[in-house]
Amino acid sequence: MTTHSSTAEVSKEPDRAEDRKGIDEITILWISEGMSCDGDTVSLTAADQPSIEDLVLGLIPGLPKVNLVNKVLSPSLGGEDFLAPYRAAVRGELGSPFILVIEGSIPNQNVIEGDGYWTSFGNDPETGEPQTLNWWIDQLAPKAWAVVAAGTCATFGGIHAMSGNPTGCMGLADYLGWDYTSQAGLPIVNVPGCPIQPENFMETLVWVLYHAAGSAPPPPLDHMLRPQWLFGKTVHEGCDRGSYYEQADFAKDYNSPKCLVKTGCWGPVVNCNVPKRGWMAGIGGCPNVGGICIGCTMPGFPDAFMPFMDEPPGGTLSSLAIKPYGAVIRRLRGMTNELVNHEPKWRHNKRKLTTGYDPHWRP
Amino acid sequence: MTTTEARATDRKPPQLVDMSWDPITRIIGNLGIYTKIDFANREVVECHSTSSLFRGYSVFMKGKDPRDAGFITSRICGICGDNHTTCSDYAQQMAYGVKPPPLADYIVNLGEAAEYIFDHTIFQDNLVFVDFCEAMVKSTNPSLLSRAERTDAPRGETHGYRTIAEIMKAFNPFEGEVYKEALKVSRITREMFCLMEGRHVHPSTLYPGGVGTMPQPTAFTDYLSRLMRVIDFVKKAVAMNDDVFDFFYEALPGYEEVGRRRTLLGCWGAFQDPKTVDYRYETMNTWGKEMYVTPGIIVDGELVTNNLVDINLGLRILLGSSYYEDWVNEQPFVTHDPLGNPIDMRHPWNQTTVPVPQKRDFDDKYSWVMSPRWLDPRTGDHLALDTGGGPLARLWSTALSGIVDTPYVKATGHSVRISLPKGESLPETTLEWRIPKWSNTIERDRARPYFVAYAAAMALQFLEEAMGLVRAGETKVFENYEVPDEAIGCGFHEAVRGVLSHHLVIKDKKIANYHPYPPTPWNASPRDMYGTPGPYEDAVQGQPIFEENGPDDFKGVDIMRTVRSFDPCLPCGVHMYVGKGKTLTTLHSPTYGANHG
């Protein structure tokens, strides 16, 4: 029987691009003027799966045309020219739907008495006075097709929302409300990480763009609005030092390739895929390279995890509990490992064939 | 006092226009530049730089466990977080009295080398060079572009572009060949970084007392093979940059005046020599000079000092145009350094941050950036040192000091020679950076690709030394310690864009005071209590304008080139805050390329 190849039949299949009822062109308005270090933008440029230039140049099939407006990458010299698309969006005249990306935590303006503000983005053209980040969010969030929070500062407040901070800052969902929905009916899409793992962010953004194109459902999010497939497991579950934990074999200081729980690693209870995915292109990470997990993707970061270099409070009990089990398992595995670390007996250069080969096995 | 020398010209009646750029693009952080431009005489008359972000690190660090300082201060900066962690670890090691094993120092050096290569590449090629690309030059200096089309590129054999305009075209954002390749190279070099320090931006494997990086041979092999993949790109970048910058001098006589200041450069040194460094304050002058980038202060071409103790003692944080209450009447944290030298109340060890939010007034207080200065003991002047965007000061200080002598990098007293091995398409190459005639915009930018080459060359040496230790079985990377009840420490390092210091005071095992001084407060500082403008202001103020557009369609490219030549990175300005601003009549806010990108 020959395979019947029929290009004619294939061409009758509905063309996804033509068939879908989606958005053809979308603008990404990225504001990094939160309490931030701009590390999420910098991290974004590390992504290669896909890369930001692939996205901007339209090299990913099935996505809408993407206009990226980001201060760090903008070819503009700055000022009003750079702000033009943001101002157009405020007036409702941008000409395409937009995704609002917020980087950095959101300050509390209400704690300030009198003049002043914590962070601004350009000046008010009428008065020449600085225009606050909060003003921009208040204007843009109700009009946004989707809202994405990039990094732990924007998602949960992050390092700048640490206890003792004078700005009273918080995450975007704390500011807009956890039940906020965008024009597309989507909740805020939170991509935590200090900074974002480059590919985690790009993959999420691309999913949102496929959704915009009409070819994908909204990205599945958990109760903290994180993409489920990225943050559904713990660091420990993807860590190549995890089996040392199971064998109750713990590093006493940082000179060791063993489990780092006793030297400050929070991996067993932190939702993050970095040890599994690596930092970029599969390279780097945290515990797998020798870094303790300090919980930088978590809502309680950093206060809940400090002091970072001490054993987490729960670690003492759980590592004690696993000790007898781990000691037995380690010994048994050691014995089996010894056993399987030998050449099978039939490999030799003697005259007799001892491999078990039987020339008559198939009559 | 302004630090720029006055220029004699035939003056026409001024035609003054207020111009502002806020926010400035293609930098990290929030920066605004406010100028008065005299279009009749085609020069900038006045410049104020301001930022609009306050986060309060020195406030919320207090009372925390000092070992957390490196993890927290990393988050000051989203591009050179590792420089902060490293500098914090240096300061903590001094306070705890701990010396990491040599292999840990090499691993840190290798991480930092990868960081310099990555950061300078992405900044120069993807952010700075957009100001020199075909699309930009076409819209600001069309006649220059047509000349560039007719001008052969002298180093075409190395970089492969026939004319200067072809190079400019390769720098067009998102579309040009070099722009795209630079993004790729910046990923490979970040992978090198991740091999040594776990993650980029905020590293995961650096600790006070050493590193956690597993020193397997594989980590070094993976690093070396990536370094060799980018080595020819580095050689080409130097050649391309030299061609474009030489063309600017030649085609636009007088361009050396753009962004020119007195030579007032500071470098705090980078790349410790594990064989001599013990991180003790008492011996800091000795091991400081052994660093593979020599620390130094250079004033008008003269080397004032290489001693980190002198550098430390001369630090002053001045107020003047900043929104702070003075702290001179507070109790000092540190009265004497460990050598018995008195410590000034305006020294970072004694600083207390007392913010006073108020309206922006360019005639009075207009910035939350304080003004770091260095007290020149010879003259009593508080010098507004700049960092030359990092590389200019580093190369200048290293070259003039003539101390560094390694198989790959040699300082000659007037130049730095950098040898790079054979790559895929280019032979072994020795590059020579010579001390330039001016400290200006073009030389700041030119130094950057040379320093990429420098860092790549030093990385080769660190790899050899580190592998030597691994092969000898010396694989210890961390040394334990106790946090003392009371201690002080300071770290001196180079962030990518220049001088970085961290000053730490511990009381009751907690942080009592912590002040990081990154390069950006040095460069972006406002006028101080003596009226001395900060380096951005000083470099822009008085500079000529070469752009062909008039006031109505003015883009301000020469001004932006100057500001960006310093590698502005505003998250560094940890104290920055701008009060509700006073209205400054802005007649025109320049625009560029709304239709581009």
Q: Assess contact for B583 and B570: CB atoms under 8 A.
A: no
Q: What is the pLDDT of residue B581?
A: 26
- To the question of whether residue A37 is assigned a binding role by annotation, the answer is yes
A106 touches chain B (CB under 8 A): no
pLDDT-based confidence at residue B309 (cuts at 50, 70, 90): very high
CATH, residue A274: 4.10.480.10
User: Cα A11 to the chain's mean position, in Å?
Assistant: 38
One domain for residues A277 and A128? no
Best CA proximity match to B460, nearest among B154, B220, B205, B133: B220
One domain for residues A162 and A196? yes
**d(Cα A75, Cα A80) in Å, to the nearest integer?**
13
pLDDT tens-digit map of A28-46: 999 998 888 999 999 999 9
Task: Provide the percentage of residues in chain B whose pLDDT is more than 70.
Answer: 93
CATH, residue A208: 3.40.50.700
Best CA proximity match to B261, nearest among B531, B565, B501: B565
Mean pLDDT across chain A: 91
Tell me which DSSP letter residue B534 carries: P
B24 touches chain A (CB under 8 A): yes
Task: Give me the residues of B, 48-67, that contact A with CB < 8 A.
Answer: 52-56, 59-60, 62-65, 67
Query: Would A103 be classed as within a structural domain?
Result: yes
Q: pTM value?
A: 0.93
pLDDT-based confidence at residue B358 (cuts at 50, 70, 90): confident
Quick check: bond before B201 cis, omega within 30? yes
Q: What is the pLDDT of residue B9?
A: 56
Q: Which two tokens stand for residue B372?
A: 């770091």
pLDDT above 80 (res B53): no
Closest residue in A to B29 (Cα–Cα): A38
One domain for residues A159 and A238? no
Residue A105 C-alpha, separation from nearest chain B C-alpha, in angstroms = 10
Kind and range of the H or E element at B224?
Answer: helix B217-251
Helices B441-471 + B217-251 axis angle, to 10: 160
Best CA proximity match to A68, nearest among B508, B25, B87, B213: B25
Task: Provide the percentage of residues in chain B whose pLDDT is more than 90.
Answer: 81
Q: What is the distance in angstroms between the CA of the first residue and the CA of the last residue of chain B? A: 42
Which ranges constitute the DSSP H helices of chain A?
Answer: 7-12, 16-19, 39-44, 52-56, 80-91, 133-140, 152-156, 172-176, 198-213, 228-231, 242-246, 274-277, 313-321, 323-340
List the single residue in A37, A75, A128 with the smallest CB-CB distance to B75: A37
Binding site feature residues of B for Mg(2+): 575
Tell me which DSSP letter residue A357 carries: -
pLDDT tens-digit map of B76-133: 999 999 999 999 999 999 999 999 999 999 999 999 999 999 999 999 998 899 999 9
* Domain made up of B16-566: CATH architecture: Orthogonal Bundle (1.10)
Q: Residues of B with CB below 8 A from A51's CB?
A: 183
pLDDT above 60 (res A188): yes
Query: Would A199 be classed as within a structural domain?
Result: yes
One domain for residues A126 and A263? no
A338: phi then psi, degrees, rounded to nearest 5: -60, -45
Q: Is B505 helix (H, G, I), strand (E, B) or coil?
A: strand
Q: Which of A325-339, B277-291, B441-455 has the lowest mean pLDDT?
A: A325-339
Q: Which of A52-66, A250-264, B43-57, B105-119 has the lowest mean pLDDT?
A: B43-57
Q: Residues of B with CB below 8 A from A165's CB?
A: 55-56, 59-60
Q: Residues of A with CB below 8 A from B27's CB?
A: 71-72
Other beta carbons less than 10 A from residue B104's beta carbon: 28
Q: Is B473 helix (H, G, I), strand (E, B) or coil?
A: coil
**d(Cα B307, Cα B232) in Å, to the nearest integer?**
36
A133: phi then psi, degrees, rounded to nearest 5: -55, -40
Task: Provide the percentage of residues in chain A whose pLDDT is more than 90.
Answer: 75
List the single residue in B78, B358, B586 with the smallest CB-CB distance to A42: B78
Of residues B321 and B205, which shows the higher confidence score?
A: B205
Other beta carbons less than 10 A from residue A224's beta carbon: 17
Cβ distance of A289 and B204 shorter than 8 Å: yes
pLDDT tens-digit map of A242-301: 999 999 999 999 999 999 999 999 999 999 999 999 999 999 999 999 999 999 999 999
Residue A213 C-alpha, separation from nearest chain B C-alpha, in angstroms = 21
B364 touches chain A (CB under 8 A): no
Q: Residues of B with CB below 8 A from A253's CB?
A: 478, 480
Per the structure, how many domains does chain A have? 2
As a whole number, mean pLDDT of residues B429-443 equals 98
Q: What is the pLDDT of residue A247?
A: 94
List the single residue in A80, A83, A128 with the smallest CB-CB distance to B583: A128
Mean pLDDT across chain B: 91
Q: Assess contact for B337 and B544: CB atoms under 8 A.
A: no
Q: What is the pLDDT of residue B246?
A: 98
Q: Which of A181, A213, A245 is the last residue of a domain?
A: A213
**d(Cα B176, Cα B163) in Å, to the nearest integer?**
15
| Paired residues of B33 in beta bridges | B21, B49
Tell me which DSSP letter residue B345 carries: T
Best CA proximity match to B525, nearest among B556, B562, B492, B570: B570
One domain for residues A98 and A195? yes
Q: Assess contact for B5 and B260: CB atoms under 8 A.
A: no
Best CA proximity match to B51, nearest among A103, A104, A130: A130
One domain for residues A193 and A77? yes
Q: What is the pLDDT of residue B585?
A: 33
Q: Tokens 């919320």 sit at which residue? A: B60
Closest residue in B to A46 (Cα–Cα): B187
Q: Which two tokens stand for residue B506?
A: 């511990």
| Paired residues of B478 in beta bridges | B210
**Domain edges within chain B:** 16-566
CA angle A354, A357, A363 (to 5 degrees): 150
Q: Assess contact for B509 and B66: CB atoms under 8 A.
A: yes
Domain range spanning residue A339? 233-343
Q: Residues of B with CB below 8 A from A115's CB?
A: 357-359, 579-580
Task: Give me the residues of B, 420-439, that contact A with CB < 8 A.
Answer: none
Q: Which two tokens stand for residue A261?
A: 């729980």
pLDDT above 60 (res B5): no
Query: Would A204 be classed as within a structural domain?
Result: yes
**d(Cα B509, Cα B22) in Å, to the nearest integer?**
43
Q: What is the pLDDT of residue A10?
A: 41
As a whole number, mean pLDDT of residues A70-87 equals 87
Q: What is the pLDDT of residue B582?
A: 27
Query: Would A40 be classed as within a structural domain?
Result: yes
One domain for residues A129 and A159? yes
pLDDT above 90 (res A13): no
pLDDT tens-digit map of B498-536: 999 999 999 999 999 999 999 989 999 999 999 999 999
One domain for residues A206 and A274? no
pLDDT above 70 (res B176): yes
